[in-house]
Each structure stands twice: as structure tokens, then as C-alpha cells.
Amino acid sequence: MIPEILEAQIEIGCKELRMPGLRRHFRNLVREAEEQQMEYASFLKVVLDQEIQERHQKRHNMLLRQAKFPSPKTLADFDFTKAPGLPKMKILKLAEGMFVKRRENIICIG
């Protein structure tokens, strides 16, 4: 358990350093670290990973808002029955992105 003064200091530090993800989650992270008897370096990595993940998610959400898409769409939502000429397996295979590792070019027409 975190003493109240230390908790307040952590909150102030997170606010000053602009780390809102850490500010929201540090109590749970500390509790989990205590339960798992985590080493300091491991705890620090978990804390940094949490903040990085929060920032990536926030940026992703901001970019989606800026794009002004009517609603989020994924390949899983795509109705292949409405495009019978579209080879579903080939599209799903391309979505895996292995052509990038193999340095292959892809041309899509239509």
C-alpha cells in the first residue's frame, strides 16, 4: 500500500511530466509489483511499457478522429459476399504482411 503523501507526490510528478497513463494506473502497477515481489528494474519496465501503450492508444484514437471516418472498419468486418470476384483467402494472406518481410511488390487494381 502506498502512503498518502507518497501517492500525492507521484500524482503531482505524473501530472508535471505529462504521464496521464501512469497517473491512472500506478496504484494497480504498484500493487501487482508488490504481489509478485518484482525487482525494481522489472517494475520500471512495466511502468514504462504502460505509459508507452497509453500514448500509442491515445495517438491512434486521435488519428482516427482526425480522419473523420464514420465508424471504425476492420478486415474482419468486410463482407466478401458483396464482392464475389475478390479472392478472400488472398486478401487475408496479404493482410498478414509477410510480403513486406519478403520485400515483394503488391499491385492492387480496382
Identify whether the C-beta of residue 53 lies closer than 8 Å to the C-beta of residue 82: no
- 42 in a domain, yes or no? yes
pTM of the model: 0.61
- 53 in a domain, yes or no? yes
Supply φ then ψ for residue 84, to 5 degrees. Answer: -60, -25
- 76 in a domain, yes or no? no
- 96 in a domain, yes or no? no
85 pLDDT tier (thresholds 50, 70, 90): confident
CA distance 75 to 95: 8
CA distance 37 to 92: 43
The domain total for the chain is 1
Which residue range is the domain that position 37 belongs to?
A: 4-67
- 30 in a domain, yes or no? yes
| Other Cβ atoms closer than 10 A to 19 | 20
- 100 in a domain, yes or no? no
Chain segment 1-55, per-residue pLDDT in tens: 688 999 899 999 999 999 988 899 989 999 999 999 999 999 999 999 999 999 9
| Other Cβ atoms closer than 10 A to 61 | 10
- 82 in a domain, yes or no? no
**DSSP 8-state class, residue 3:** -
Chain segment 42-77, per-residue pLDDT in tens: 999 999 999 999 999 999 999 989 999 888 888 888
